[in-house]
Chains A and B, each alone.
Chain A
Amino acid sequence: MAEATGIKEIIKPENLAYKKSRIMTDNVLSYCPGCGHGTTHRILAEVIEEEGIQSETIGISPVGCSVLLYNYLDIDWQEAAHGRAPALATAIKRLMPEKFVFTYQGDGDLAAIGTAETIHACNRGENILIIFINNGIYGMTGGQMAPTTLPGMKSSTSPYGRDVKVMGNPLKMTDIVATLPGTYYVTRQSVHNPANVRKTKKAMKKAVRYQKLNKGTCFIEIVSNCPSGWKMTPVESIKWMEENMFPFYPLGDFKVPEEQDS
């Protein structure tokens, strides 16, 4: 009895160490254990809540594992056809320039079927945020080769490993869009440990601020893991990502605004 009373006394707002962002809904996430999507969603929700932009935010969810993203964040959403999110975002932002508009896309969506929409939205300098989750595989359809699958990496459509002579090389979209005059802020992050979660959150907060400046596209790549698609345990997949993905897709800023802007 005395013990129960003790717990009751501890559960007070001032003792709260962590709570779910109020922007996250109570819907159960559809992701596999160890996947980076959930962490990225939480960061996004926290940024929207902390920046106080819920009522001015329109998100565009892709086709891929995060197709049901609109069930998880309590904001207005549009669900795009595969690869077309930047085209939707272009129109939304141009018709309602005062709103905060972002897309959330995987590597197949952004770097294969939607390459044209991605490049041209960035080239026009559309004043939007593009969040690019790169796990080097098609997760939702069951682990097929993606445009970002590493050389030699196995997938269900590259069962002997990606032979770049036959299947082409991985496309480094972040490197490409950084060369376009239309982009304003281009960075590559990860969410696999607390330090990088904090860095990613900081990058997203910057992107929110930059969108208000009306100076061009913000592009945040998040290199992530796919334990199911890679056929690894979550812990193995993190280790594999650090040893294989990060050397090929180094984390860091590609394009940062001039000092006076940031």
Chain B
Amino acid sequence: MEKELRLMKGNEAVAEAAIRAGADGYFGYPITPQSEILEYLMEANPVKTTGMVVLQAESEVASINMVYGGAACGKKVMTTSSSPGISLMQEGISYIAGAELPCLIVNVVRGGPGLGTIQPSQSDYFQATKGGGHGDYHLIVLAPASVQEMADFVDLSFELAFKYRNPVMMLSDGAIGQMMEKVWLSPYKERSKTVPEWATTGKPPTRKRNIITSLDLDPNAQEIFNQKLNAKYNEIREKEVRYEEFQCEDADYLFVAYGTSARVCQKAIQLARADGIKAGLLRPITLFPFPEKRINKLADRVRFMISVEMSAGQMVEDVLLAVNGKVPVYHYGRMGGMIAIPEEVAENLKSKIIGG
């Protein structure tokens, strides 16, 4: 079957891609700016076609725990929300990471803290990449920068989640969720019939009982488990780094930006280059694992870097760690639901050149 071209919102693309990826279940609660995902799935009613279960839960707390229950059965399950809802889910996400369950969580980020705004932001970077809930754990974090990637990363997320038995977060934002672009949709995949050996599907006489838990009262055993988790995260750091470079070959100055900010930087680079300033962009596609080795390497041949984010400066800390003092690292950010325009980003670059 061939790919199908459609004009869609990012949120709709996630929903359609989930059906096509052979997802078994979606559990969600309405919140702006991502309610289209639940609405789209309810209208598509995939239980009649692929058999995918869609349920509106009573809260984000319930949604994420439904995801836990479904994931523990070895099913491809997911939830989506936006910042305040994702905060409510943190307990469940920690349990899912602790029980080593695969699932997809999409955060269509809006500005905070608190109820904040419904406009796009990237202020949940720390929460997504450093853990978010309690305990030592990491999510695999993918950052889409287009409606196409909102669709493509659904399948990729499930693949990574099952490969590592680890929750995957797609860290989008209200701009990518709401904007319409053309998107090539993958053909429908059949829902998987294979049951992972760890899944709780009822104990047949042929195997030992399966127990999904994150509890170990023996501190020695818990530490060994923590070490095992950490070894998994290190393997992910080694094997799953994804990024894209834009005009880095001859760049003297480097922007580091993901998602919506990366798109703004691409245009800012054009403006800068028109003035003879050779700027480039490294766009992390995975925020965990972070492309630290590549950034460290690029630090050998650029004069400085600017982390451009819709936040007070969160990813900049990872850029600083990656650069490890080789060159100056600056941050340029807008907050509260404001998006930088290319002109101001290009101006900021120029001011740093003059200033430095």
Contact = CB atoms under 8 A, between A and B. Distances in A.
Contacts of B209: 74-77
Contact of A95 (B58, B68, B73, B99): B73
B138 interface: no
Contact of B205 (A55, A92, A96): A55
Interface stretch (B175-183, B210-218, B322-330): B210-218
B211 A91 contact: no
B79 to A, nearest CB: 10
Contacts of B201: 58, 76, 96, 99
B91 interface: yes
B61 to A, nearest CB: 7
A90 B72 CA distance: 13
A153 interface: no
Given A78-B68, A90-B69, A96-B73, A84 B215 contact: no
A4 to B, nearest CB: 36
B69 A77 contact: no
Given A81-B92, A116-B62, A91 B214 contact: no
Interface string A108-131: 000000001100100000000000
Interface residues of A, number: 32
A55 B65 CA distance: 24
Interface in B28-62: 53, 55, 57-59, 61-62
Given A57-B202, A92-B73, A81 B65 contact: yes
Nearest to A98: B202
Nearest to A25: B209
Contacts of B210: 76-77
B137 interface: no
A91 B103 CA distance: 13
B70 A77 contact: no
Contacts of A95: 24-25, 53, 70, 73, 75, 77
Interface in A53-91: 54-58, 60, 67-68, 70, 74-81, 84, 87-91
Given A55-B204, A95-B75, A120-B62, A87 B213 contact: no
Contacts of B59: 116
Interface in A23-39: none
A77 B67 contact: no
A78 B200 contact: yes
Interface residues of B, number: 38
A91 B70 contact: yes
A81 B95 contact: yes
Contact of B62 (A58, A75, A117): A117
B213 to A, nearest CB: 4
Contacts of A77: 200, 209-213
Contacts of A239: none
A212 B356 CA distance: 74
A117 B200 CA distance: 21
Interface string B125-147: 00000000000000000000000
Nearest to B76: A95
Interface in B194-238: 200-205, 209-215
B313 to A, nearest CB: 33
Contacts of A78: 68-69, 72, 200, 211-213
A80 B202 CA distance: 17
Contacts of B65: 80-81, 84, 87-88, 91, 117
Interface string B152-189: 00000000000000000000000000000000000000
A67 B66 CA distance: 19
B139 to A, nearest CB: 17
Contacts of A100: 202
Contacts of A91: 25, 27, 53, 55, 65-70, 73, 77
A198 interface: no
A251 B67 CA distance: 35
A172 interface: no
Contacts of A116: 58-59, 61-62
A94 interface: yes
Contacts of B55: 90-91, 94
A112 to B, nearest CB: 14
Contacts of A57: 202-203
Contacts of A96: 73, 201
Nearest to A79: B213
Chain A CB within 10 Å, residue with most, of B55, B99, B212: B212
A54 B62 contact: no
Given A87-B66, A88-B66, A116-B59, A94 B25 contact: yes
B214 A79 contact: yes
A55 B70 CA distance: 18
Chain A CB within 10 Å, residue with most, of B68, B69, B201: B69
Closest 10 CB pairs of A and B: A88-B69, A79-B213, A87-B65, A91-B69, A76-B200, A91-B66, A84-B65, A120-B58, A91-B70, A56-B202
Given A70-B211, A87-B68, 11 more contacts: A55-B203, A58-B202, A75-B209, A78-B212, A79-B214, A80-B68, A87-B62, A90-B66, A91-B66, A92-B200, A117-B65
6 contacts: A58-B200, A76-B203, A79-B212, A79-B213, A88-B66, A94-B53
